[in-house]
């Protein structure tokens, strides 16, 4: 079950409503009490696995905030995955220590030229840093690592093929 705890983002991606240039969206970051309330509500309906999601903003969703959120969620769920901003290996190790069992990173597209064109600004513009994020998660000891492409940004057959190659590499 997905649970968004923040929609703050510092990237400017032409396909995403969360992007920093969108001034129409109401930005929200859940308090720890709100996370507890949502976790309790979801788990009482029989869900045992949660995917914690945020927009990509390490400033608004610090490592401390992520780890404390995971600590709260671990009281309600058997496994906790994250789909947040890419991190370095040390930070992946920290979230694993806090109770994270899985990582999901969408490369969006493996076509570097298209990737550059659709990511106007922000840390997400760094193609290689994002591409290497799942490997950094693996090196940190993440139990589950999921990858994918956002089909439709580029040739979907090529992106599906490169996703498979990336998975085989990992």
- For 38-62, write each residue's pLDDT tens digit: 999 999 999 999 999 999 999 999 9
Which residue's entry shows tokens 């990582």? 103
Residue 83 pLDDT: 97
Helix (H, G, I), strand (E, B) or coil at 115: helix
pLDDT for position 126? 98
Closest CA to 113 of 86, 147, 153: 153
Structure-block tokens of residue 82: 């994250």
Binning the chain into helix, strand and coil, the percentages to the nearest 5 are 40, 20, 40
User: Which tokens go with 164?
Assistant: 């498979």
Mean pLDDT of 139-148: 97
Q: Collect all residues with Cβ–Cβ distance below 8 Å to 98 and sequence separation of at least 6.
A: 66, 67, 70, 71, 74
DSSP 164: H
Q: Give dist(CA 98, CA 111) in Å, integer.
A: 34
């Amino acid at each position: 079950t997905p649970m968004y705890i923040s929609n703050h983002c510092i990237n400017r991606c032409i396909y995403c409503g969360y992007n920093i240039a969108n001034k129409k969206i109401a930005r929200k970051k859940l308090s720890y009490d709100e996370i507890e309330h949502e976790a309790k509500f979801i788990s009482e309906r029989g869900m045992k696995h949660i995917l914690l999601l945020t927009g990509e903003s390490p400033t608004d969703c610090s490592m401390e905030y992520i780890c404390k959120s995971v600590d709260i969620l671990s009281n309600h769920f058997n496994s906790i995955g994250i789909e947040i901003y890419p991190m370095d290996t040390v930070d992946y190790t920290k979230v694993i220590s806090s109770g994270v069992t899985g990582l999901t990173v969408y490369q969006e597209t493996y076509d570097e030229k298209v990737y550059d064109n659709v990511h106007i600004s922000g840390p997400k513009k760094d193609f290689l840093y994002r591409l290497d994020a799942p490997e950094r998660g693996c090196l940190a000891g993440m139990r589950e690592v999921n990858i994918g492409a956002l089909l439709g940004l580029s040739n979907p057959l090529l992106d599906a093929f490169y996703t498979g190659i990336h998975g085989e590499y990992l």
